[in-house]
Each structure stands twice: as structure tokens, then as C-alpha cells.
Structure 1
Amino acid sequence: MATESVAVVVVTYNRADLLERMLAGLTALETRPDAIYVVDNASTDHTSDVLDQATNFGLVSMRMPENLGGAGGFHAGMKAAYDAGFDRIWLMDDDVVPAPDCLTVLLGYDEACLLAARENLAGRLVEKSAVRFDLRNPLAVRPKTASVDSTYATRASMPPLVEIENIAFEGFLVRREVIAAIGLPDESFFIFYDDADFAIRARKAGFRIWAVRDAVLVRQLEFDQQHALDSWKGYYMYRNLFAVHFRYGENPLVRAKPYLIAAGVTLLSPLRGGRSEARNVLKAIRDARGMRATPSREPVQPT
């Protein structure tokens, strides 16, 4: 394991100051990665200046011609790192900072899929990855029925490794054998659930996924996406959640659940998200039907 090469893939869009802080965190790692691929999703702020001034060893800047979303960015960055032959690829968003020993701790485990456990700026465990992602029970409104931080009150109460069923592309370290087996992240998701989709495919291929207690990743922003269901983000949240149910629901009732959710949201829209959320969910259910099939896996180079 000590000889394995590691490439970091960071996706960023118009958050130059966060990116600068994140790159400083990578520079401070006691175990340095071999390369850092920064996928810039056509930012219009001073991201290019941050990248031009960055002193990180092995930094490769990938400027996208348009905003491909997180899913498209991770697809492009992972493909570049995989094609370059790296043994492990460490996925990062621009709003997290690893503890100095984070990569050292992760590389101490001989596992194909590992996740650094996130905490907030106050040091509170905020790892939202699912301990249970239920696509069997049609009565589970949300498939994530238990997360790391809902199961363990503190980081200290976690065992060293916690098996999880979905991931965030924040601190996820994956071996190239996984990519060879299941392919790249599905760029059609744009944002949200591309990481859950990747995790489901990995588990179906026989890989186990572990959250690592002592690998610390500090999230710079609070989680607030649940308040955006009437915005453009809400459309992607609903569409991609429905697509996951259509693709991986383990029985007909679960695969039919998106229709019930869409009907319920529409009926309740006068009391919560209004017409905007109703429009989002109706468009989402229509478009998710076109995402039922998992895209054909791209050819990858032999490992």
C-alpha cells in the first residue's frame, strides 16, 4: 500500500476563496498526493487566479468549456486521473479541508472504497453518508434511513471503520479496480445523487464501503440543500432521487414510489413549496423516466 500512487480530484465552481483554503489544506498534508486535478466548471470569479498562483505540487488545472455540474466534473476529473494510471483517486469538493493526517490514515487501510468522516467547523460530526440506504421498503419515504451522524453522536463513539451504503464525493478514496469494474460517475445526474449512484453500483459489484473514524475532513459550509426544493436545485434533487428508485428499486412498489412522492408533493404544494416546487416535481418525474437505464459503461484501460 505504501507504493500506491494517489491523485486528488477537486471540482469547483465560483468559490475561489473556498478553493484556495482547500488547496492549502492539501499542501499541509503529511502524506502528499502525487497529483491534484482541479476541474473548474467554467467559473466566472477569480478561480483562475487562485489556480495560477497555487503552489501545490503536481497540480493539473482542467478548465471546462461550460458548467457540467458536480457529476460532470467528477466524471471528467476521475477519467483523467484513471487514464494517467493512478492507483487511488481521492475525490474532493471545494468546500472541505482535510486534517494533515487524513490521507495517511486512509492509506493505512487495505480497502477499495474509503470515506473520510466529515465534521463541521465546530468539530461536530456531520457525516451524512447512509449506514442504511433502503431501496426495498416502499414505506420509507427517503431511502436514507440512517446516517453516520444519526447513528453515532460523536466521532469518538464510532468504531474505527463503519460500513456505509452510500457516499459523498467529499473525501471518497477509491481504487482504480472499482472504476475498471463499474465505470465512471454518471454525468447525466449533473448534481445530487451521482455519488449515491456510484456507491450502489460499487456495492452491486461486490465492493464494501467504509467510513473511517480517524480520517478527518472539515466541512467549511453548513448543509442547507433541504431548503431549496422550490429552486432549480430542487428539480435535480427530485429528478435524481426518482432516477435512483427507477434504476435500483428492489421491487415494483419501490420503483413506483416516485409517482406517489410526486403526487403527494403536488397536492401539498399550497402548504409548502408552492407552484415552483410542484413544477419541479412534475418535471422531475417526467425526466427521471428517461434515466431508468444505467448508461453504458465507457471503455477503460486495463488495470
Structure 2
Amino acid sequence: MSVEHGSGFDPATATIAVVTFNRSPLLTRLLESIERMDPKPGHVVIVDNASSDDTTDVVESFRERVGTEIVYRRLETNTGGSGGFSEGMRVAYELGSTWIWLMDDDVEVLPDGLASMGRWAPRFKSIQGRRYDYDGSEFYWQYRIADRMGIPIPFAPAGFDESGFKEMNSGCFEGMFIHRDIVARIGLPDPRFFIYWDDQLYGWLASRITTSVIVDEFVLRRTREIKQWDMGIRHMNASSDAYRYYIMRNRAHIKRYYRELGVYNPALFGIGTALTFGKEIIRLLVVERKAGGTRHLFRGLRDGRRIAKDRSWRPMPPLGPVQVTEPTP
């Protein structure tokens, strides 16, 4: 590895922002892993998407034991992962955090995870670490997208050279480590996505103004098993009817961003949408072994056309100067 620990990173300036919804056992495992971290971040922000389980009690039970400040935000309604991460980043930004580390509740942090990410902080401002899958294998994440089609490149090389990093033009909120300067320029994640495509788009926006990288550092481990189809080199996960709907509907939001930034190519983007639709059909038939979910794909396309025609639609704005607030319980 060519990058050593340096003096350009202070762990206390980092905030872990977690989004959770009705998965208190998984959140417990994550908080236990943060308790074991060395070093620890300055804050842990937990955004609760209106859970109906014992999430609040779990959070309170860790206040005195996790070893860093917990800031808990329980939302009135479920805003999806997109809304949760938007709120989590907003809170972290207003706390004055220099670095914001986003993650779902179904991972745990390796004890030296923050130190590993900090190795790269002096060089880059948009960083993705690596993850172990539920079974301990190396989890492959599609870090490159076909720019004009707006879809992941499934067979981008998985290996690293001696530099220890690869440039990416995407993002994943399960482990995105991003500098406040980038957040200020591109704004908060767009809550209108609810779920799906939001992190890919956000990472793509970041890569347009800074060198974004995935680094050869294992920092997270997934703690939830997901049904998969083993394709040999890659896996295809099972999905849900809600995901199918938003996968297709949110193509319209991506289209609007592309248009605003002057990179929209109707033919290439249309191919990307068609390939996405086809991939979801394969997922239904091969992984989940059913056909009934196709109506949710069509429903998503239908509602996406309304978004595409909405004259009031605007992209998320950049953030202006923000007054730093003190952590609150």
C-alpha cells in the first residue's frame, strides 16, 4: 500500500451517519462495532425513519457506552433511504463535520475502519472503502457507470494495482466517505428518490468536481444475508416490488439531472433504461422465480413520465454557509 497514516486527518472531525428503519437487532450490531472502533468519530448521527420497533430504546442504551456523541433524529414519516441519508448528511454538515461517513444499519464497522479511511483523506475528498459480504467473502460493488446511459458497468475490473485505489464515477451510501467541501458544492442527497439510484447519482455528481476513488481498504462487513443468484464472477441480489417501482420511476430524476447539466443523450439514456428493465425481468425470473412483479416496473415508468414533464422540478441546490450547531441528544 502506497499511502501511510498521515497527520492530515483528525478522526474527531468525522461523523458516521446511519439510516435505520425497524431493524433494531442490526442497528445494535452496528453500534456495538462502533463501540469497538479505534479511533472513533467525533459524532454518530442516527436517522430513524419512523420505526415502530424498539429502535429508540436501543439508541438510548448506547449513549453512555459507545464512546462518542450520539445525535438521534427520529423522523415523523418513513422518507426512505434517500430521505434518511439527506437528513443524516444535513445534520452532520450542520455539526461542522469535515468528513461524513454514510452507512446503512445492516453493516458493522471494522475496528480500524476510520483509520483506514483516514489514510486517504489527505489526498481525496470522495472515497469509498471495501466491504466483506455476509459470508466473509469480498463484496464487489459496481464503482463505474456508463456515463451517458446512467447504469453501472457490471464487469469493471475488481483488482487493484500498487497504487491501492481506482477512480470511480459512482457512489454507494453503504460506506460513502465524503468531505464537507464537496457536499457544499453539490448539495444534499435528493430525498425525492426515496430508494434506489440516489447514491449512484450523488457519487456521479461528486466525481464531476473532484477525483473520486474506491480504495483497497476493507472497512465494513455486511450483517444481513440477501438471496442471490451466483453468476460466477458476480452476484445478482433478490429485490422487492417497491424497489422495482423506484428503479424505473427514478430514471426520470436522473434524466432531469442530466438535462440540467447538459449531458443528456436521449438514445444512450434510453438504452440504459431498456437494459435496466431487462435486468429486472431477469432478476424476477431467475433469482425470485416469479413474474407478477412486472406491473411495478411499468407503474414506475408511467410515474416517471410525470416527473419528466414536471415544470417545477429543480435539482438539489448547493449548500450555503451554515452556522455550526452543538450536538443535541
TM-score range relative to shorter protein: 0.7 to 0.9
**Would the alpha carbon gap of residues 263 and 33 (structure 1) be closer, same or farther in structure 2, given more than 3 Å must change?**
closer
Instruction: Pick which of 257-266 and 280-289 moved more.
Output: 257-266
TM-score by length of 2: 0.78
- Alpha-carbon separation, structure 1, partners of 2:257 and 2:270: 11
After superposition, the Cα gap between the structure-2 partners of 1:89 and 1:289, relative to the gap in structure 1 and judged at 3 Å, is same
Distance, in Å, in 2 between the alignment partners of 1:8 and 1:81 is 8
For the pair 1:238 / 2:248, whether they are aligned, the reply is yes
Partner of 1:78: 89
Residue matched to 2:299: 283
1:94 corresponds to which residue?
105
| 2: CA distance, partners of 1:17 / 1:268 | 32
Q: Is the 8 A contact 1:197 1:244 kept in 2?
A: yes
1:217-272 Cα offsets, whole Å, 9 max, x none, are: 1111234484335x122111222245325533642202333674698699999977
Are 1:118 and 1:218, in contact at CA under 8 Å, matched by a contact in 2? yes
Q: Find the aligned partners of 1:289 and 1:172 in 2 and give their Cα distance.
A: 30
2:9 matched residue in structure 1: 2
Give the alignment partner of residue 134 of structure 1, picking from 140, 146, 165.
146
Q: How far is the alpha carbon of 1:282 from its aligned partner? A: 2.1
Q: 1:159 to 1:116 in 2, by over 3 A?
A: same
Asked if the contact 2:251–2:273 (Cα under 8 Å) also holds between the matched residues in 1, the reply is no
Task: State whether residues 152 and 158 of structure 1, in contact with CA within 8 Å, keep that contact through their aligned partners in structure 2.
Answer: no
Query: Which one of the candidate residues 213, 217, 225 is aligned to 2:220?
Result: 217
For 1:107, the equivalent position in structure 2 comes to: 118
Q: Which moved more, 1:157-166 or 1:105-114?
A: 157-166
Of all paired residues, the percent bearing the same amino acid is 29
Aligned partner of 2:291 in structure 1 is 274
- Cα distance in 2 for partners of 1:192, 1:168 equals 10
1:251-296 superposed Cα distances (whole Å, 9 cap, x missing partner) = 220233367469869999997753531x212221222234455524
Counterparts of 2:41 and 2:125, CA distance in 1: 17
1:208 to 193, 206, 211: 211
CA 1:59–1:259 in 2, change beyond 3 Å: closer, same or farther? closer
**Equivalent residue for 2:232?**
none
Unaligned runs of 5+ in 1: none
* Equivalences for residues 180-191 of structure 1 within 5 A: 180-191=184-195
TM superposition score normalised by structure 1:
0.85
Give the equivalent residue in structure 2 for 1:66: 77
**Counterpart Cα distance in 2 of 1:266 and 1:27:** 39
Distance 2:314 2:204 in 1: 11
Any conservation in 1 of the 2:19–2:47 contact (CA below 8 Å)?
A: yes
